[in-house]
């Protein structure tokens, strides 16, 4: 009878203990799996959101975050230079600001985040209803795209006219309102759950800001041409515009992983270590109890000719079986728990709705299996030592006299 | 032919109050087909001697040879192999595996010895028939009486056709009538050619042996041969 089958029979002999052990391992395994999903969840989620926006490289005037540093001057000329590069498929210049929609008294104005986007073939938003902003070049269109939250707050939809008062600099200002027509309702990739957002064409944005001749941009999004990679596009941009700061999505994600998101990796590493330690203790205790209860039988098996190696294999198989079954159960439990925890964490204010804390990747599955396997092996060390050093004659004697 | 030979064997155990001598300068030969009983008061070293003869334990001093091989020179794997294929053990408390059926318990040492499945199934069937338990093949130990469990243990001990069967108080846990049945079964095993060494307090069982060895304080006092 092979060791694994033998171990299965041994476990079935004590079903309550085996079940409790397996459930304990499943709980520990589920927590471990969640920590692995959390360790890179935000990084993967951010990478996915960036890539889904359809642009690979971000260009700013300095290394500061977009909207917090100086603007890129003469954006149309920069755009023309960039789109002429063979590595670049398309590019769009963005302005960031904010705005308010004036409501009838006594309702207070409704605030929102405002984008100004240079018309381009690609858009970083997705139109849900109505139509996109018209790409009419240099002339103002008098159109606006709004997101669902702003549409709901205003009680308007595509085709409605609204008066907005923009705020375009980081100082108090009192710009006159401009009247725009809602072309459509769109989803913007980095909106938070309750964020209200609107997008104008770059020209309309400049008009709303009272600076119709302003050609600045806070950020230029670049889509790489199919034959090239983002790094090649970034290098090409750096060659033609060494005065600007270009980063690929992958670079940005690496920066975020090393700085802002590193807390989650550290927390998950600590919690995963603690979880594994609990798992190790749990399995060691279960196996040790199991071995101690069977010392007489083990000594008898050794006496009738079972080798020490075979008895060690039995203990390892028992450990592997418990951890294998518990670890397999841990995966669906862990996924359910992760979904629940993700919903709780996403209630944090200011978090983009498309970001997730717990994200599945195959690497997490392999790492989980590896760590659980290593735990099973380590946990079996002490019981294996008991079995391999068991004095056969003395144990048989004590079994008779006890 | 000599199966096991002990020459001046001594076994000392470390004890809190100093070394304890369990077996002292014992010399003994067990040949093929022998029937030996070892008797003596509790703690006189009977079981320790049995464990030494069965290659379960190693002597502190003296020489022990099994089928001509120096047991002290063998590694754990080789000694395990000898126990598995050449020696059968019957214990006072049976030590059947509770999660296996009677047939599976008998099959276990054969599987460990690498006997092909078809061969070990046939051998198990024959052995259970030999000990009168064909109808109980699929029962677990918890469903068997004490006498039945000991008969399964004897079948398990004979599974790999050993030359030597060692029994440590085989009737110690059984009532008189059941003990007599087990004694008769062991006689039959011996009559069929397997050498038998029995450690027992039971004088009725001991008297069935061709040779009875009396032990006291780790020494063999005398041995008498019966015809």
pLDDT of residue A121 exceeding 80? no
Per-residue pLDDT band for A175 (boundaries 50, 70, 90) equals confident
Task: Give the helix ranges, DSSP H, for B4-116.
Answer: 46-53, 76-86, 102-112
The answer, yes or no, to whether residue B219 has pLDDT greater than 70, is yes
Q: Using one digit for the tens of pLDDT, what is the confidence trace for B139-193?
A: 999 999 999 999 999 999 999 999 999 999 999 888 989 999 999 999 999 999 9
- Is the pLDDT confidence value at A192 over 90? no
Task: Give residue A170's pLDDT.
Answer: 54
Which helix (H) or strand (E) segment holds residue B211: the answer is strand B211-216
Q: Where are the beta strands (DSSP E) in A217-271?
A: 219-224, 245-248
H helical segments located in A14-96: 15-52, 75-83
Query: Is residue B88 very low, low, confident or very high in pLDDT (cuts 50, 70, 90)?
Result: very high
* Range with the poorest average pLDDT among A160-174, A330-344, B83-97: A160-174
CA distances from A401 to A395, B50, B195 (A): 10, 16, 27
C-alpha B168: how far from its chain's center? 6
Q: What is the pLDDT of residue B227?
A: 43
Assess whether pLDDT exceeds 80 at residue A120: no
CA distance A319 to A374: 11
pLDDT confidence band for A171 (50 / 70 / 90): low
As a whole number of angstroms, the distance between CA A388 and CA A2 comes to 18
Q: Is the CB of residue A127 less than 8 Å away from at least one CB of chain B?
A: no
B147 found inside a domain: no
Strand A178-187 relative to strand A143-146, pairing: parallel
Say which CATH number the domain at B95 has: 3.40.50.300
Domain with B181 in it: 2-100+163-225
Asked if residue B116 is part of any domain, the answer here is: no
Higher-scoring residue by pLDDT: B10, A76: B10
What is the residue-averaged pLDDT of chain A?
A: 87
Question: Could you tell me if residue B26 is inside a domain?
Answer: yes
Residue B114 zone, left/alpha/beta (φ > 0; ψ -120 to 50; rest): left
Which is more confidently placed, A129 or B225?
Answer: A129
Q: Classify strands B195-199 and B35-39 as parallel, antiparallel or unpaired.
A: parallel
Which residues lie closer than 8 Å to A371 by C-beta, 6 or more apart? A32, A272, A276
Q: What percent of chain B stands above pLDDT 70?
A: 97
> Highest mean pLDDT: which of A150-159, A202-211, B119-128?
B119-128
**Cβ count within 10 A of residue A114:** 24
Contacts of B109 in chain A (CB under 8 A): 304-305
Cα–Cα distance for residue pair B70/B63, rounded to 1 Å: 7
**Among chain A residues, CA nearest to B170:** A400
**What CA–CA distance (Å, rounded) separates A91 from B30?**
96
For residue B11, being part of any structural domain is answered with yes
Which chain A residues touch B54 with a CB distance below 8 Å? 303
Classify A15 as helix, strand or coil: helix
Q: Total structural domains in chain B?
A: 1
Among chain B residues, the shortest Cα distance to A299 is held by: B95
- Among residues B169, B177, B178, B103, which one has the least CA distance to residue B141? B103
Beta bridge pairs of residue B7: B63
- Residues of B15-40 as b/e, b for ≥16 C-beta within 10 angstroms? eeeeeebbbbebebebeebbbbbbbb
CA dist., res. A294 & res. A290, Å (int): 7
Question: Which of B22, B53, B57 is the best mutation test for A, with the most CBs of A within 10 A?
Answer: B57
Q: What is the pLDDT of residue A173?
A: 64
Whether B201 shows a pLDDT value over 90: the answer reads no
Residue-range domain boundaries for chain A: 3-50+260-401, 66-218
Rounded to an integer, the average pLDDT of B64-92 is: 93
Enclosing H/E stretch for B150: helix B146-157
Residue whose pair of structure tokens reads 């989620």 in the numeric block: A45
> pTM of the prediction?
0.77
Non-local CB neighbours of A335 within 8 Å, separated by 6+ positions: A33, A360
Which pLDDT score, from 0 to 100, does residue B182 have?
93
Structure tokens, A33: 């799996």
How confident is the model over A292-323, as pLDDT tens digits? Answer: 988 999 999 999 999 999 999 999 999 999 99
Q: Which residues in chain A are contacts of B113 at CB distance < 8 A? A: 305
Q: Is the pLDDT of residue A108 over 70?
A: yes
Q: Which whole number is the average pLDDT over B34-59?
A: 92
A2: pLDDT strictly greater than 80:
no
Q: Residue A304: which of B47, B89, B98 has the nearest Cβ?
A: B89
- Cα(B123)–Cα(A336) distance, rounded to whole angstroms? 52
The fraction of chain B above a pLDDT of 90, given in percent, is 79
pLDDT tens, residue by residue, A21-31: 999 999 999 99
**Any chain A CB within 8 A of the CB of B137?**
no
Q: What pLDDT sits at residue A105?
A: 65
User: Is A297 in Cβ contact with B95 (below 8 Å)?
Assistant: yes
Q: Per-residue pLDDT tens for A228-283? A: 999 999 999 999 999 999 999 888 888 888 887 888 889 999 999 999 999 999 99
The verdict on B50 touching A (C-beta cutoff 8 Å) is no
Chain B positions in Cβ-Cβ contact with residue A1 (cut-off 8 Å): 100, 104, 107-108, 111
Q: Average pLDDT in the A93-120 region?
A: 79
């Amino acid at each position: 009878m092979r060791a694994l089958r033998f171990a299965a029979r041994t476990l079935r002999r004590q079903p309550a203990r085996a079940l409790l052990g397996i459930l304990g391992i499943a709980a520990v395994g589920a927590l471990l799996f969640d920590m692995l999903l959390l360790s890179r969840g935000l990084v993967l989620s951010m990478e996915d959101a960036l890539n889904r926006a359809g642009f690979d490289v971000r260009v700013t005037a300095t290394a500061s975050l977009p909207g917090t540093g100086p603007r890129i001057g003469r954006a149309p000329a920069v755009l023309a230079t960039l789109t002429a590069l063979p590595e670049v498929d398309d590019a769009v210049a963005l302005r960031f600001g904010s705005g308010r929609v004036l409501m009838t008294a006594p309702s207070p104005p409704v605030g929102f985040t405002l984008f100004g986007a240079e018309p381009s073939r690609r858009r970083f938003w997705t139109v849900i209803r109505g139509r996109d902003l018209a790409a009419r070049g240099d002339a103002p269109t008098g159109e606006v795209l709004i997101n669902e939250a702003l549409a709901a707050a205003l009680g308007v939809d595509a085709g409605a006219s609204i008066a907005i008062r923009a705020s375009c600099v980081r100082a108090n200002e009192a710009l006159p309102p401009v009247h725009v027509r809602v072309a459509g309702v769109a989803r913007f990739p980095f909106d938070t759950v309750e964020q209200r957002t609107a997008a104008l064409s770059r020209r309309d944005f400049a008009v709303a800001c009272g600076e119709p001749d302003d050609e600045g941009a806070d950020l230029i999004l670049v889509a790489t041409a199919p034959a090239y990679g983002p790094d090649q596009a970034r290098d090409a941009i750096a060659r033609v515009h060494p005065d600007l700061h270009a980063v690929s999505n992958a670079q940005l994600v690496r920066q975020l992983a090393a700085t802002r998101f590193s807390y989650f990796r550290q927390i998950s590493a600590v919690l995963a270590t603690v979880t594994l330690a609990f798992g190790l203790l749990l399995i060691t205790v279960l196996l040790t109890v199991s071995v101690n209860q069977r010392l007489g039988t083990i000594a008898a098996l050794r006496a009738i000719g079972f080798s020490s190696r075979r008895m060690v294999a039995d203990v390892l198989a028992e450990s592997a079986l418990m951890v294998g079954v518990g670890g397999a159960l841990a995966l669906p439990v862990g996924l359910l728990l992760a979904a629940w925890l993700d919903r709780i964490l996403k209630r944090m204010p200011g978090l983009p709705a498309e970001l997730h804390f717990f994200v599945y990747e195959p690497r997490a599955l392999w790492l989980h299996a590896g760590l659980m396997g290593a735990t099973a092996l380590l946990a079996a060390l002490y019981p294996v030592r008991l079995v391999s050093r068991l004095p056969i004659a003395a144990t048989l004697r004590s079994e008779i006299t006890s | 032919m000599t199966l096991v030979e002990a020459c001046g064997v001594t076994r000392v155990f470390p004890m809190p109050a100093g070394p304890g001598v369990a077996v002292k300068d014992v010399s003994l030969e067990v040949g093929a087909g022998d029937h030996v009983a070892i008797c003596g008061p509790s703690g006189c070293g009977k079981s320790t001697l049995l464990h030494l003869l069965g290659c379960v334990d190693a002597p502190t001093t003296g020489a022990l040879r099994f089928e001509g091989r120096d047991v002290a020179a063998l590694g754990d794997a080789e000694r395990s192999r000898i126990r598995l294929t050449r020696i059968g053990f019957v214990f006072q408390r049976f030590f059947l595996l509770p999660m296996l059926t009677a047939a599976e318990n008998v099959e276990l040492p054969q599987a460990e010895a690498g006997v092909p499945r078809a061969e070990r199934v046939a051998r198990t069937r024959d052995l259970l028939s030999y000990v009168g338990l064909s109808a109980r093949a699929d029962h677990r130990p918890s469903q068997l009486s004490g006498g039945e469990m000991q008969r399964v243990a004897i079948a398990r001990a004979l599974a790999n056709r050993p030359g030597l069967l060692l029994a440590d108080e085989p009737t110690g846990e059984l009532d008189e009538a059941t003990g007599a049945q087990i004694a008769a079964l062991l006689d039959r095993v011996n009559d069929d050619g397997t050498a038998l060494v029995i450690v027992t307090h039971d004088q009725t069982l001991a008297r069935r042996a061709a040779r009875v060895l009396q032990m006291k304080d780790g020494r063999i006092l005398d041995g008498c041969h019966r015809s």
